[in-house]
């Protein structure tokens, strides 16, 4: 004999869920997010949305957290021909494309106090992964990845926020962006080389605990 089944619930299914909220926010883009806009996308009143999200900043933080959680950070095998330097180049490319794809995200990922606990946990997990893959200490991995990510995010945000803005005189915006991306890539390579040199020097660079000792 089958056990009794719970009665089917009646009425409309919930229209306000975290997944729907963040999907609407991502589609709208962080710089353009408003309570009225997100609620309209969900087909509910903005007052109904307030029952799920306290304020606009909380809404943006929720969307930023989800964007970051969906970022597929490159994984390392530790056996790449170019070693850690090659991996960091891949990481820089991924970070640059991530910033380009999500305008307005930078304040939520570059400032530690603005990052949520799930975001910090993902960063910590990535640092542990790189430490294990390349046989360096967790603190060395933390310093190296934080240094590279901070500068890549900051410069990428500057590049993509100013590219194409006025004044643009007789200039192809795509060409301008490509030129700035090339300069960004070259600058990041110089940073990677310098950071790895500091890591190797130890005494005059970054010690075993990943702290700058100069």
Question: CA–CA separation, 40 vs 50, rounded Å?
Answer: 13
Q: Is the pLDDT of residue 212 over 50?
A: no
What's the per-residue H, E or C state across 76-144?
CCCCCCCHHHHHHHHHHHHHHHHHHHCCCCHHHHHCCCCCCHHHHHHHHHHHHHHHHHHCCCHHHHHHH
For CA atoms 75, 80, 86, 90, give the dihedral sign. Answer: negative
Read off the pLDDT of residues 27-83 as tens digits, 9 standing for 90 and up: 999 999 999 999 999 999 988 999 999 999 999 999 999 999 999 999 998 777 889
Q: Is the pLDDT of residue 173 over 70?
A: yes
Contact between residue 156 and residue 96 where contact means Cβ atoms under 8 Å apart: yes
Contact between residue 58 and residue 67 where contact means Cβ atoms under 8 Å apart: no
Give the mean pLDDT of the chain: 85
Ordered domains of the chain (ranges, CATH): 18-67 (1.10.10), 75-201 (1.10.357)
Find the mean pLDDT for residues 184-213.
Answer: 76
Q: Look up the pTM and report it.
A: 0.82
């Amino acid at each position: 004999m089958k056990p009794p089944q719970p009665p089917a619930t009646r009425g409309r299914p919930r229209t306000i869920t975290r997944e729907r909220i963040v999907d609407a926010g991502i589609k709208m883009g962080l710089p353009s997010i408003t309570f009225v806009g997100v609620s309209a996308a969900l087909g509910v009143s903005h007052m109904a949305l307030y029952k799920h999200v306290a304020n606009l900043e909380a809404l943006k933080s929720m969307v930023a957290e989800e964007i970051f959680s969906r970022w597929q950070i490159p994984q390392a095998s530790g056996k790449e021909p170019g070693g850690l330097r090659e991996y960091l180049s891949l990481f820089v490319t991924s970070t640059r494309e991530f910033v380009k794809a999500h305008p307005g995200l930078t304040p939520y990922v570059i400032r530690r106090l603005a990052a949520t606990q799930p975001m910090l946990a993902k960063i910590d997990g990535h640092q542990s992964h790189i430490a294990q893959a390349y046989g360096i200490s967790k603190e060395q991995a933390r310093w190296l990845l934080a240094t590279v990510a901070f500068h890549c995010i900051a410069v990428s945000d500057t590049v993509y926020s100013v590219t194409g803005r006025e004044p643009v005189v007789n200039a192809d915006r795509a060409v301008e962006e490509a030129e700035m991306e090339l300069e960004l890539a070259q600058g990041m390579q110089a940073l990677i080389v310098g950071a790895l040199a500091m890591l190797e020097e130890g005494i005059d660079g970054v010690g075993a605990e990943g702290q700058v000792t100069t």
